[in-house]
Amino acid sequence: MINKNQVNHIKAEREVLVKAKNPWIVDLKFSFQDDKYLYLVMDFLPGGDLMTLLMRKDILSEEESRFYIAQTILSIESVHRVNFIHRDLKPDNILIDKEGHVKLTDFGLCKHAEIRPSRMTEINTKELSFNFNQLKSALDKKLGYKRTR
């Protein structure tokens, strides 16, 4: 880490994971270090990443595209709520949980910024969690089945 000048990247990653405790971000369970390594223990997400899904399916249906885009927008918004900008958003960094829902990861290139929410985007954490569950239900109902992988 130190030899590769990665200290700031690791600090940014950990800071976002600690601050952004919500269903759209990979959950940091523990972090610890020994003399040689720093360890970040995070959620296991068996759905893989969006890039693998795109390569496997080649083309997503319109419903699937809407599903993943909507959840990706909400995950990006949750990062902005804790005043960070992701800066490395790509399908490889959009992970899929066991129910098929999106979680954002890889915050090493994040940049702290003072992001002022507009009145339209001001939502407290309880509402965000409620909205997540509401969106999951609506999307599952619209797709006609519970997404599993």
Residues catalogued as catalytic: 88
Residue 106, Ramachandran bin (φ over 0: left; ψ between -120 and 50: alpha; else beta): left
Torsion of CA 48, 50, 55, 57, to 10 degrees: 90
The secondary structure of residue 38, as a DSSP letter, is E
Rounded to 5 degrees, φ, ψ at 69 are -65, -45
